[in-house]
Amino acid sequence: MSPFGQIGLTEPEKDTMGYVEKIIQDLQDDDPEVRRKAIQILEVIENEKVIDPLVKALDDDDERVRGIAARTLGKYENEELIEHLIELLNDEHYFVRGCAADALGEIGSEEAVDHLVELLKEDKVWVQDETAKALIKISHPTGISALEDWLREG
């Protein structure tokens, strides 16, 4: 079943602009699984009108929703998102921290380099890997130097 079918949209309906609003409304659903699926669909839409609802999803109670929203926001080269994503590097859940690191790497945020370098000290290997990839994508000398040190210590 296509992602559109999972939320009750038929293929012809996906061609109308109304589907974006329907999916955005699903971000308010009580079921975190519905909210996660909505974000996964919004990820492939890449429409600027979804940015504000995705930023609101960064405060969701469900860590998967927060993480997927962060990762999705990384697709937008929007400097205004950087502060929100940097805040998530301190989230209580490792999945959110890793997704935020990935998003900052996608955006290419040099502003985040020092925060990402700190995140290399994370005890979760997956978060370290996502952080290392982000630092490579950003390719700032401070981040590359920290990566070299991290690899030697590893």
Alpha helices in the chain (DSSP H): 3-6, 18-26, 32-45, 51-57, 63-73, 82-88, 94-107, 113-119, 125-138, 141-153
CA 99, 80, 58, 53 torsion-angle sign: negative
The domain ranges of the chain are 3-153
Distances (CA, A) of 104 to 3, 4, 86, 132: 26, 28, 8, 11
Euclidean distance between the first and final Cα of the chain, in Å?
Answer: 43
Alpha-carbon gap, residue 30 to 44, rounded angstroms: 23
Amino acid found at 12: P
Q: pLDDT (tens digit, 9 = 90+) per residue, 68-86?
A: 999 999 998 888 899 999 9
What pLDDT does 46 receive?
A: 75
Amino acid found at 74: G
Q: pLDDT (tens digit, 9 = 90+) per residue, 37-58?
A: 999 999 888 778 899 999 999 9
Alpha-carbon gap, residue 148 to 123, rounded angstroms: 18
Residue 4 burial (C-beta neighbours within 10 Å; 0-12, 13-18, 19+): middle
Q: How confident is the model at residue 1 (pLDDT cuts 50, 70, 90)?
A: very low
pTM for the full model?
0.86
Distances (CA, A) of 131 to 45, 107, 137: 26, 13, 10
Domain at 3-153: CATH code: 1.25.10.10
- Four-CA torsion 130, 106, 21, 29, nearest 10 degrees: 10
Instruction: Tell me what the mean pLDDT of segment 98-120 comes to.
Output: 96
What pLDDT does 85 receive?
A: 97
Share of the chain above pLDDT 90, in %: 75
